[in-house]
Amino acid sequence: MRRIITLAISLMLSTALFAHVTDLPVKTINGKKYYYYTVKQGDTLYSLSKSFEVSIDDIIAFNPAVGDGLKAMSTIYFPQDSFKKPASKMSASTADYEDYKVSKGETIYGISKQHGITIEQLIEANPKIADGLKSGMTIRVPKQNSTASTQQTANKTQATEKPSKTDSQTKTDNAGGQTKTEQPMAAPTTPSAQNGYHTIKQGESLYGIAKAYGTSVDALLDANPTLSATSYRAGTLIRIPAGTVAAENVTPNATQPTIIDKPFADNITGYKPSSEENKPSLDENKEKQPADTVVTPPADIVAPVDASSDINIAVMLPFALESSSNSKHAQRATEFYKGFLIAVDSLRQVGTPIHITAFDIADNAGLNKALASPELAAMDAIVGPESDEMLAKIAAFADKNNILLFNLFNIRSGLQETHPSVVQANIPTAMMYSRVIENFCQKYEGYTPVFLSPKAGKREKSEFVTALKKVLATKRIKYIDVTYASNFKKDDFADFSSKGKYVFVPLSASGAEFDHFSTALRDIRRAAASSSDVALFGYPEWITFRGSRLEHLQNANATIFSRLYNDDKSIEAKEIAGAFQRWYSSKMENAIPVQGILGFDLGYYLISTMNRQKGALDLNKAPRGNGVQSCFDFTPLGDGKGWVNKAIFFIEFRPSGAMLRSTL
């Protein structure tokens, strides 16, 4: 115990010797003078901030490498001409505090903003949280009228000048014989995503980024609620306050395609690698071969780099980054975009520079600002929102600028009928029914269709059944109508023959109605000459069935049609889910469709198609794209009209538990 106490005292004394940064020794590097300090075991950014009376932001600004954590025996520097000897300190009275219980997901920054205090004040009151918050812990929060709070603000040292990026000195690592460049600080980089987003580069600091964009660190933190002021990584994407949201800003070079190195980061949920190997590469000279690549692109879509054939795609969705609440709509838009970026990462080696720009159009003001931006007019393709009103405005813009607008979220919209730029990515209902019925007749040739109609139950699929009966009558195919009361029984099917072949088609897709006839179908199959002589045909809603209902589907020789289908047990789906978890430290929503996979499928299709066409996007020449959850097979509607996706799935359920998906 005595040894531990002695060690703790010695660590406190190591920095207590210097009451202010100007008390540190001075070293001259390339003709410029710096205060310097050798980091001791146990030092933290917070302890150094308090000892030297320098804010954590300024320490990181002058020493960007410490943003990833302090290392014992490393040296940190402070430009001498940025600091003046401190004036005599005012005495500060003891602050009043109130207890606060930390909830799951809360951050030091968020709590400090909530209570109107600084990060330093919160850590000063709770030194143990310098290493992180834990859900359920109780901390002390200084009250806003505390004189200690006022004094802390008055004592904060402001940086006024930084040395040039060329101010460096070379040291030799005796252990490895490698040459390292030690840079007291990095000069601010020229901003490349004005009024949008910025990807933090190696050596950059929040302070430097804020200065480069003419804003403040506090404003950056306000715009990125999940961004930590004391811990962030190169490759992190942050939002620059106000205006266009540009999600990618790296510049292409002569040999490597431009791609987001890692997907959407701290401005939404944060990029938190679960292990060292999942961190983005910080060495620009290394080959960018991602360990997380989900899908290896086919050889025919990999092409030589052509700087004139850049791929430019805009994603215009209601991310609601300015909103204090996180609606389901915004969460799903965000998940879609994250999945889209996983596709970008998977195709990083295709050879063509890729630029993805996201516009937050949570309201009309955001939409109008986006439509007025020159960046949007330069896009090759736009992914649009669900809103009818917003889609119509974007469609007019797309027509004017000859940009294809992909509509994935509004199935009911008919804008493709009047706008040549609009691409309806979901097959329209009328076309879907026509194609399904055509393939139904082919698949069940020799079977007698039997329509199950409840007397008092739901009949919401009457439109499809009516269309099917009409085609059957045209083809002179006999069918049977069976009406049942509360539950369908084998005896209700008076026309049954053990030698016949039947395909049952209910007038409802509800789970409750399914329960009313599924047991009787089992009995009929058992009575048939062959179990394959009795089949069941149904609807997309059945994809959600689990438990006994799923077992009945598997044993009923059932087939359904659907625009989308995701087999979460498939290798591809598991790989995307794994990458999503690693990159974003969260799982995709358990919903249909899975928005993250929807984004992945469209991103993969667009980028691979445009790469084949050297940056162009001619849907007349585009091959069919079979995705993990979606299929894209676009066909034109004619002069003055747009495009529709004609792809539809048949999904067969097998007793083995297997599900076979075929694309019509």
Asked whether residue 361 is domain-assigned, the answer is yes
**Across 566-572, average pLDDT:** 84
Contacts of 157 (CB under 8 A, 6+ apart): 21, 53, 54, 55, 58, 83
Q: Clarify whether residues 209 and 325 are in a common domain.
A: yes
Asked whether residue 519 is domain-assigned, the answer is yes
CA distance 586 to 104: 14
Asked whether residue 216 is domain-assigned, the answer is yes
Rg, Å, the chain Cα set: 31
Asked whether residue 581 is domain-assigned, the answer is no
Q: Is the pLDDT of residue 377 over 60?
A: yes
Question: Among the listed ranges 23-27, 346-350, 513-517, which one has the minimum average pLDDT value?
Answer: 346-350
Q: Is the pLDDT of residue 271 over 50?
A: no
> pLDDT value at position 332?
94
> pLDDT value at position 298?
54
Q: Which residue has the higher pLDDT, 122 or 560?
A: 560
**Across 260-275, average pLDDT:** 30
Q: Clarify whether residues 336 and 234 are in a common domain.
A: yes
Asked whether residue 374 is domain-assigned, the answer is yes
Q: Tell me the residue range of the domain where 365 lies.
A: 197-419
**Across 362-381, average pLDDT:** 92
How does pLDDT run across 432-443, given as a tens digit for each residue?
A: 999 999 999 999
Q: Clarify whether residues 216 and 342 are in a common domain.
A: yes
Question: Among the listed ranges 251-265, 463-477, 571-585, which one has the minimum average pLDDT value?
Answer: 251-265
Question: Among the listed ranges 228-237, 246-255, 481-490, 563-572, which one has the minimum average pLDDT value?
Answer: 246-255
> pLDDT value at position 367?
95
Query: Are the C-beta atoms of 592 and 544 separated by less than 8 Å?
Result: yes
**Which of 419, 454, 487 is where one domain is finished?**
419
pLDDT tier at 43, thresholds 50, 70, 90: confident
Q: What is the mean pLDDT of the chain?
A: 76
CA distance 545 to 510: 10
Query: Are the C-beta atoms of 49 and 76 separated by less than 8 Å?
Result: no
**Across 275-301, average pLDDT:** 40
Q: What pTM value is reported for the model?
A: 0.58
Q: Clarify whether residues 415 and 435 are in a common domain.
A: no
Query: Are the C-beta atoms of 478 and 508 separated by less than 8 Å?
Result: no
> pLDDT value at position 8?
34
Q: In the chain, what percentage of residues exceed pLDDT 90?
A: 40
> pLDDT value at position 33?
84
Q: Give the side-chain half-sphere CA count within 13 A for 403.
A: 26
Q: Is the pLDDT of residue 274 over 70?
A: no
Q: Clarify whether residues 262 and 338 are in a common domain.
A: yes
> pLDDT value at position 17?
47
> Which DSSP state fits 355?
E
Q: Clarify whether residues 399 and 490 are in a common domain.
A: no
Asked whether residue 512 is domain-assigned, the answer is yes
Q: What is the CATH number of the domain that holds 329?
A: 3.40.50
> pLDDT value at position 283?
31
pLDDT tier at 196, thresholds 50, 70, 90: low
Question: Among the listed ranges 146-155, 360-369, 611-620, 621-630, which one has the minimum average pLDDT value?
Answer: 146-155
The pair of three-digit structure tokens given for residue 10, joined into one six-digit string = 């010695």
Q: Is the pLDDT of residue 162 over 80?
A: no
> pLDDT value at position 633?
96
CA distance 630 to 649: 9
Q: How many domains does the chain have?
A: 4
pLDDT tier at 638, thresholds 50, 70, 90: very high
Give helix 547-555 / helix 511-527 axis angle, nearest 10°. 40
> pLDDT value at position 251?
25
**Which of 544, 562, 580 is where one domain is finished?**
562
> pLDDT value at position 632?
96
For residue 541, give the nearest of 557, 560, 522 by alpha carbon. 560
How does pLDDT run across 104-115, given as a tens digit for each residue?
A: 767 776 677 677
**Across 352-357, average pLDDT:** 87
pLDDT tier at 58, thresholds 50, 70, 90: confident
Q: What is the CATH number of the domain that holds 8?
A: 3.10.350.10
Q: Clarify whether residues 346 and 314 are in a common domain.
A: yes
Query: Are the C-beta atoms of 265 and 248 separated by less than 8 Å?
Result: no
pLDDT tier at 129, thresholds 50, 70, 90: confident
Q: Clarify whether residues 546 and 397 are in a common domain.
A: no
**Which of 530, 562, 594 is where one domain is finished?**
562
> pLDDT value at position 457?
79
The string of DSSP codes covering 631-655 is EE-EEE--TT--EEE---EEEEE-T
Q: Clarify whether residues 215 and 323 are in a common domain.
A: yes
Asked whether residue 22 is domain-assigned, the answer is yes
Q: Clarify whether residues 389 and 275 are in a common domain.
A: yes
Asked whether residue 395 is domain-assigned, the answer is yes
**Across 386-393, average pLDDT:** 96
How does pLDDT run across 312-350, given as a tens digit for each residue?
A: 999 999 998 888 778 888 999 999 999 999 999 888 777
Question: Among the listed ranges 15-19, 194-198, 296-300, which one has the minimum average pLDDT value?
Answer: 15-19
> pLDDT value at position 194?
38
> pLDDT value at position 240?
78
What are the counts of helices (DSSP H) followed by strands (DSSP E) for the chain?
18, 25
Q: What is the CATH number of the domain that holds 489?
A: 3.40.50.2300
Query: Are the C-beta atoms of 334 and 265 separated by less than 8 Å?
Result: no
Q: Which residue has the higher pLDDT, 194 or 355?
A: 355
pLDDT tier at 203, thresholds 50, 70, 90: low
The string of DSSP codes covering 473-517 is HHTT---EEEEESSS--GGG-TT--TT--EEEEES---HHHHHHH
**Across 442-471, average pLDDT:** 94
Q: Clarify whether residues 221 and 311 are in a common domain.
A: yes
Q: Clarify whether residues 218 and 283 are in a common domain.
A: yes
How does pLDDT run across 542-555, given as a tens digit for each residue?
A: 999 999 999 999 99
> pLDDT value at position 207?
65
